[in-house]
Amino acid sequence: METWPTAAEIADAVAQGRTSATAVTDAALSRIEQQNGVLNAFTAVTAARARAKAREVDAARAAGKPLGPLAGVPFAVKNLFDVAGTSTLAGSKINREREPASADSPLITRLESAGAILVGALNMGEYAYDFTGENVHDGPSRNPHDTGRMTGGSSGGSGGAVAGGLVPLSLGSDTNGSIRVPSSFCGLFGLKPTYGRLTRARTFPFVASLDHLGPLARSTRDLALAYDAMQGPDAEDPVCTTRASESALPTLGSGIGGLRVVVAGGYFERGAGAEALSALATVAKALGAEQRIEIPEAARARAAAFIITTTEGGALHMDRLRTNADDFDPATRDRLISGLMIPASLVVKAQKFRRLYREQVLKLFEHHDAILAPATPMVAPRLGQQTMMLEGAEVPLRANIGIYTQPISFIGLPVVCVPVPLQPLPIGVQIIAAPWREDVALRIAHYLETAHVAKATRPPL
């Protein structure tokens, strides 16, 4: 089997007997061995476990048992997901001393229940406080479209592994943009579901108020397959919704008839580079989205997200900052220490503002079904790049990559990031829907994919 099939194509081939889960798994492990030296996407490869699981899938088929919708599909997870028997690194040096996880993250269990096969854990920015995909302990994950460039972060390996064809599906986390930024820089489809939609149990946290988990893939069908397989309540995560699962796959191909799609203007266009604006215009035109709206107080929302992030992050790591400060990436350490020093009064204000902002933005969805916005202001920066140009001024790169993603995840709206295949580098556009309407964002993304406006292109590796 060639190395670029989607998860859906693999599952179909396995179900039809055109290939076996074992053959697919062996091929994935071989690609990882060949390419990971360049891409640095994987920090652990679970070969024995993967082969054992593949044999189970093949045995089930041989016995005539029904196979799951992801039968034989190799996938990998950001290394903040618990994988039984290994320490959950969360991109850090410090966590290498942690006790091995006693059980898998439920999202891994749910994907495996659908027949998917875990092949490893993926590189990430330290403790997820990152937009670059660089990591001082493990080295940077590298962008398959140009290995001298960033994958974006913090789910850097999750982007590199899928864009590089090592696996068709990965899981990442997104607190301020960490699924959407790598999707944009690596040219992938990424889904950040509604806050609370997917259980976060048995993953290493960053900012409890804002943490989300979700899939990255090369097709919208694969996003929907994975998303549907992962839904469901979980008492282990107090934020996880008790709503019934709402499958996205049945309506994926329903088209965009009747959907009211608009473009976020103002804040979301200021500072955007030529590629970001070009991609946005292309997507808007394909959808017939002519109206521009203003998301009120977006800049303040981004500021409030920044404050909640740095303070909750600082609090999470306070003990480690007391005892192991030298073992952090210095850049992470200094941001976390700074976060510890923000007065509590300002954090309370930020959480109160969050509720008012949410009320204002939800009013927009009374008249619109989806809002388009750039995912990142620019295409993938070069590795090591420290600054960027924003509205004519040179500003720090790290803090500003997420200016368009932060105001959205701040209130937990579901987003599909779609890749627009510009040359030489792709860039993403956010399709933002009302809470719990992942199906709407996925429908629109699928329409764009079918129209060849959004496409995960194969890099020249």
Cβ closest to other proteins, residue 249 vs residue 308: 308
Q: What is the C-alpha separation between 73 and 70, in angstroms, rounded?
A: 5
Can you give the binding site for other proteins, defined by CB under 8 A? 209, 297, 299-300, 302-304, 306-307, 310, 318, 321-322, 325, 330-331, 333-335, 337-342, 345-346, 348-356, 358, 399
- CA 83 to each of CA 49, 88, 89, 137: distance values in angstroms, whole numbers, following the listed order: 11, 7, 10, 20
Q: How far is the CB of 57 from other proteins (least distance, A)?
A: 41
| Beta strand segments in 129-203, E | 142-143, 146-150, 169-174, 189-192
For this structure, is 102 an active site residue? no
Q: How far is the CB of 354 from other proteins (least distance, A)?
A: 4
For this structure, is 285 an active site residue? no
For this structure, is 30 an active site residue? no
β-pairing, 415-420 vs 427-433, is: antiparallel
Partners of residue 150 on adjacent β-strands? 142
Cβ closest to other proteins, residue 81 vs residue 195: 195
- Show Cβ contacts of residue 140 under 8 Å, excluding neighbours closer than 6 positions: 40, 132, 133, 134, 150, 151, 156, 383
DSSP codes joined into one string, 299-324: HHHHHHHHHHHHHHHHHHTHHHHHH-
| Beta strand segments in 231-351, E | 261-264, 292-293
Q: How far is the CB of 327 from other proteins (least distance, A)?
A: 13
Q: Of 20, 87, 170, 178, which residue is the catalytic one?
A: 178
Count of residues making up the chain: 461
Q: Of 20, 154, 173, 409, which residue is the catalytic one?
A: 154
Give phi and psi for 120, each to the nearest 5.
Answer: 165, 180
Cβ closest to other proteins, residue 34 vs residue 360: 360
Q: How far is the CB of 375 from other proteins (least distance, A)?
A: 21
Cβ closest to other proteins, residue 215 vs residue 377: 377
Q: How far is the CB of 311 from other proteins (least distance, A)?
A: 8
- CA 229 to each of CA 82, 116, 232, 385: distance values in angstroms, whole numbers, following the listed order: 18, 10, 9, 38
List residues with catalytic annotation: 78, 154, 178
